[in-house]
Structure 1
Amino acid sequence: MTSSPLLLKQLWHTPLVNAVNQEIVYRDQLRLSYRDVYTRIGQFGAALRASCVRRGEVIAVMDHDSHRYLECYFAIPMYGAVMMTVNTKLTPAQIAYTLNHSGAAILLLHADFIPVIENIRTNLSNIKKIIVMTEGATVPQTSLQFDDEYENWLADRADDFCFADFDENMRATVFYTTGTTGAPKGVYYTHRQLVLHTLAAGMALAAPAARQRLHNEDVYMPVTPMFHVHAWGIPYIATLLGVKQVYPGRYTPDMLLKLIREERVTFSHCVPTLLRMILTAAQSSGVDLCGWKVVVGGSALPQALAKLALEMGVDCFSGYGLSETAPILTLAQLNTLDSVRESVTDDALSTLCCAGRAIPLVDLRIVDDTMHPQVHDGQGSGEIIVRAPWLTQGYLNNPEASTVLWQGGYLHTQDIGTIDQDGYLYITDRLKDVIKVAGEWVSSLELENALTLVAGVKEVAVIGVPDKRWGERPMALLVVDKALFRESVIHDQMRSLIECGSISKHALLTQFKLVEVIAKTSVGKIDKKALRAEHATVP
């Protein structure tokens, strides 16, 4: 019997029959069909062979979200090489570290990032070839030596390159965590893992009867960088479904809104800060976002932000996962009755903002310090641990951290949460972010959610700061609209939530500090490590 390994090339079988003329759009510059893109993927394979690329060799990509990046998602691993996605938001030193640590031999480089590579080129020990990507313009003057331009590299290649079968456990991708502690860590995935994640996450997204779903009539546009955890794996799902895909290039509010409006985008994913930016821009410009569905992840979705989005006609809901989990583990989709209602109740709003329920094939548990499972009653709390067929098996060339990650046979998320009787997961904090006040744990996420409901609060981050009397106490960093904000309202809000048992009584010890900006990581998450370093001094 001939085996059929789970390889990324198999995701193209159905769309090349059912959606061959479907569009893949790049900004307002280019329209391709699925047939066109697959032809270019074949040319890409021929270009790799002409460049003498070996199986297992690492090819790095440094681009904005584009049709080219989608081609890289498939052509590089389908050839048998490994796609390394460069986080363009890291510092030049960190970028050099990740390129060297991954062993990348070829770099596909967008012209916008030439200055970054120009400054670190002498430190890149393994890069032997650079292919520059341009937008049809002349390549900028630079000291870098390019081996070819991307379109020229593909041009005149045969488009019938045969992507052979090989072991489904061959590595397909590698990328690096954002390095909030120590050097960035390499996370890697095989073909088998990515195909299984695509099938399970795609099934979960397609399952609801009405809202919070992705189906084959949707128009998809990522608003999560394609360098970050395969853009949450959704370009693979979108390709399998054969939906229209829209790639926005460099993110700007005007371009994102233009594409949502003109291309009739109906499904995206992003972090809360980007959702807020788009909603604000839409309010200013009068763009109607009704019918846009958005999965929000990376950090907790504040209920106030979700409520605003829903009022503007946006069907927003949370998702949860890690770089180490490919990433989707859970989705906050409502039960059928709630999902078909015209209005969303307060309970449903709370559900939409929680982490959600496990997608198929995910074994998700909350455990105490001894790995003993906690009761799913919405009260029992513990660390979230998981198993699924697609989780990374470790960190690249880092056996010590890999052992800690998989201690006891489950992947340790370092997140604390509860699971209610309906299976919904609620994240209460990160292990390193919980605040211990007079011996009692206080959730920074619960405080943040409470504070976002106060009029005039635009953004909030809560950290623990040293305190001589209490050991630690919460500090809330607030970005506010000064015309609307009143600090006295915050204290009333706190007392009300304490009285109903929603937050700890120690929340009354919270210090409040108005700031102009709140530090973010390279992928838009609140950087609490940086905030603690800046603000956590003993009074």
Structure 2
Amino acid sequence: MATTFHTTGTTGDPKQVFFTHRQLVLHTLAFTSTLASQPQGQNLTRADVYMPITPMFHVHAWGAPYAVTMLGLKQVYPGRYDPSTLLRLRRTEDVSFSHCVPTLLRMLIDAAAGEPLGPWTIVIGGSALPPALVEEAFEVGITTLAGFGMSETGPVIALARGEAEDSHGLSRAGFALPLVYAKIDGKRGGELVLRAPWLTQGYGSQDASDTLWEDGWLHTGDVAEKDADGAIRIVDRLKDVIKSGGEWISSIDLEARLMEDAAVSEAAVVGIAHPRWGERPIAFVTAAPDEIISEERLYDALSKQAVAGQISRYAIPSIIHVADGLPRTSVGKIDKKALREIAIALAADAAAAVEAQSKVAGA
């Protein structure tokens, strides 16, 4: 054993994973060879200057420090992730390659206030990369591409690539790395399952390990599809898929649609139990700098998409809550467990208000 740490536990209890020296070496070789073969502007070369914007304790800082050390790149370690410090270091140290979660990319773009930041390649992971955010980053000179992985996979098993302005292509989970066997398990609702020589052998608990490696495949807990070109596209987490009125609703897709509104900086959708419809989606949105969110406009846009058949009418959230901020985990990911508790409270308040109005009307 070389390393051990715990998962972030955004949808369940944290679990301990571990990796051997051999696994770290194999992951480094596969990840580095993939980055080297990416299109120009989406790749990593010996001329790049590397600055991580992901904590070192978060899945080996996504394995990148091993790769850049092997290549002998200049490395810049910023300490706390303060946007102004990160932007200053990017300028003074000529940083050209980084990685982070979407939240931190959002903070960098906002802090830059239109200042050109390129050329800067940033791999995005930890949660879904909305196409709208890819486009915003491109406008300030940042090339973003999604990477996919999890604590159990050490982490990278896929990386996006595509045309420079192909926001939908670059926001997909992408193409499997060398030595990764990825397939969609139709028997389990389209779950992405994996085999690769660097995946964790298990958790601290034997029962949990057996579940993770059921039938000899590592079960990611992600619902996925494969596009015609072979790229993996994550539809949702199994635990986050919402079933309402007999329809399956992707929280990732709904979040991306909400973020198409220029006033929305971030969006998160969770499902909560409903006595009639099984579950109902509750949406949380935050405003972009100097913007005011119109809930009516968001509802109207989603309603038009439902009429056009682009989404189910059940996907229109019961509540769209404008928040000052969203709860985070220690690595900056949106904490959906915490959001679900807030959503339950919001729904209870809304139901109580409707009941009170009924009583007044009846009187």
**Fold in common (TM above 0.5):** yes
Q: Which of 432, 444, 464 pairs up with 2:239?
A: 432
Among all aligned residue pairs of Structure 1 and Structure 2, give the percentage whose two residues are the same amino acid.
Answer: 51
Q: Which of 197, 209, 216 pairs up with 1:389?
A: 197
| Partner of residue 41, structure 2 | 211
| Partner of residue 306, structure 1 | 134
Q: Which of 179, 185, 200 pairs up with 2:9?
A: 179
Contact 2:154/2:200 (<8 A) preserved: yes
Contact 1:473/1:509 (<8 A) preserved: yes
Deviation at 1:176, TM superposition (A): 1.2
Alpha-carbon distance in 1 for matches of 2:9, 2:281 = 24
Contact 2:39/2:161 (<8 A) preserved: no
Q: How does 1:113-132 map to 2 (within 5 A)?
A: none
Q: Which residue identity does 2:66 align to in structure 1?
A: Y
Alpha-carbon distance in 2 for matches of 1:474, 1:207 = 40
Once the two structures are superposed, what CA deviation does each residue of 1:474-518 show, in whole Å capped at 9, x if it has no partner?
A: 111111258442223213321343355432232235421122221
Q: Which residue identity does 1:197 align to in structure 2?
A: H
| Partner of residue 225, structure 2 | 418
| Partner of residue 177, structure 2 | 359
RMSD after superposition: 1.7
| 1:188 aligned counterpart, secondary structure | strand
Q: Which residue identity does 2:33 align to in structure 1?
A: M
| 2:99 aligned counterpart, secondary structure | strand
Which residues of structure 1 form unaligned runs of 5+? 1-170, 371-380
Q: Which of 489, 503, 511 pairs up with 2:311?
A: 503
Q: How does 1:181-260 map to 2 (within 5 A)?
A: 183-260=13-90
Question: Relative to structure 1, is the Cα distance of residues 181 and 350 closer, same or farther in structure 2, using a 3 angstrom cutoff?
Answer: closer
Deviation at 1:412, TM superposition (A): 0.4
Contact 1:257/1:287 (<8 A) preserved: no
| Partner of residue 455, structure 1 | 262
Alpha-carbon distance in 2 for matches of 1:502, 1:349 = 19
| Partner of residue 320, structure 1 | 148
Alpha-carbon distance in 1 for matches of 2:333, 2:46 = 30
| Partner of residue 292, structure 1 | 120
- Answer yes or no: is 1:279 the counterpart of 2:109: yes
| Partner of residue 99, structure 2 | 269
| Partner of residue 71, structure 1 | none
| Partner of residue 369, structure 1 | 187
Alpha-carbon distance in 2 for matches of 1:363, 1:279 = 35
Alpha-carbon distance in 2 for matches of 1:265, 1:496 = 43
Contact 2:284/2:323 (<8 A) preserved: yes
Q: How does 1:128-147 map to 2 (within 5 A)?
A: none
Question: Relative to structure 1, is the Cα distance of residues 471 and 311 closer, same or farther in structure 2, using a 3 angstrom cutoff?
Answer: same
Deviation at 1:225, TM superposition (A): 0.5
Alpha-carbon distance in 2 for matches of 1:497, 1:360 = 39
Contact 1:458/1:480 (<8 A) preserved: yes
Q: How does 1:340-355 map to 2 (within 5 A)?
A: 344=165, 348-355=166-173
Once the two structures are superposed, what CA deviation does each residue of 1:209-255 show, in whole Å capped at 9, x if it has no partner?
A: 31211111111010000111110000000011111111111221121
Deviation at 1:183, TM superposition (A): 4.9
Q: Which of 509, 514, 517 pairs up with 2:322?
A: 514
| 2:258 aligned counterpart, secondary structure | helix
Deviation at 1:258, TM superposition (A): 1.2
| Partner of residue 470, structure 1 | 277
Query: Which has the higher mean CA deviation after the structures are superposed, 437-446 or 179-188?
Result: 179-188
Alpha-carbon distance in 1 for matches of 2:317, 2:144 = 33
Which residues of structure 2 form unaligned runs of 5+? 352-363
| Partner of residue 406, structure 1 | 213
| Partner of residue 79, structure 1 | none
- Structure 2 length-normalised TM: 0.91
Alpha-carbon distance in 1 for matches of 2:66, 2:60 = 8
Contact 2:106/2:265 (<8 A) preserved: no
| 2:28 aligned counterpart, secondary structure | helix
| 2:57 aligned counterpart, secondary structure | coil
Question: Relative to structure 1, is the Cα distance of residues 333 and 468 closer, same or farther in structure 2, using a 3 angstrom cutoff?
Answer: same
Alpha-carbon distance in 1 for matches of 2:303, 2:13 = 42
Alpha-carbon distance in 2 for matches of 1:182, 1:303 = 27
Alpha-carbon distance in 2 for matches of 1:495, 1:183 = 36
Deviation at 1:287, TM superposition (A): 4.3
Q: Which of 487, 490, 493 pairs up with 2:301?
A: 493
Contact 2:148/2:159 (<8 A) preserved: yes
Alpha-carbon distance in 2 for matches of 1:455, 1:323 = 33
Q: Which residue identity does 1:528 align to in structure 2?
A: K
Q: Which residue identity does 2:56 align to in structure 1?
A: M
| 2:208 aligned counterpart, secondary structure | helix
Alpha-carbon distance in 1 for matches of 2:39, 2:327 = 39
Alpha-carbon distance in 2 for matches of 1:330, 1:483 = 35
| 1:209 aligned counterpart, secondary structure | coil
| 1:488 aligned counterpart, secondary structure | helix
| 2:338 aligned counterpart, secondary structure | helix
Q: Which residue identity does 2:232 align to in structure 1?
A: L
Alpha-carbon distance in 2 for matches of 1:206, 1:430 = 30
The total of aligned residue pairs comes to 346
Once the two structures are superposed, what CA deviation does each residue of 1:422-448 show, in whole Å capped at 9, x if it has no partner?
A: 011111111111111012111111100
| 1:235 aligned counterpart, secondary structure | helix
Alpha-carbon distance in 2 for matches of 1:287, 1:466 = 44
- Structure 1 length-normalised TM: 0.62
| 1:534 aligned counterpart, secondary structure | helix
| Partner of residue 361, structure 2 | none
Alpha-carbon distance in 2 for matches of 1:483, 1:399 = 50
Once the two structures are superposed, what CA deviation does each residue of 1:141-197 show, in whole Å capped at 9, x if it has no partner?
A: xxxxxxxxxxxxxxxxxxxxxxxxxxxxxx111111123466532111111100000
Contact 1:330/1:357 (<8 A) preserved: yes
Alpha-carbon distance in 2 for matches of 1:293, 1:189 = 28
Greater Rg over alpha carbons, structure: 1
Alpha-carbon distance in 2 for matches of 1:528, 1:522 = 13
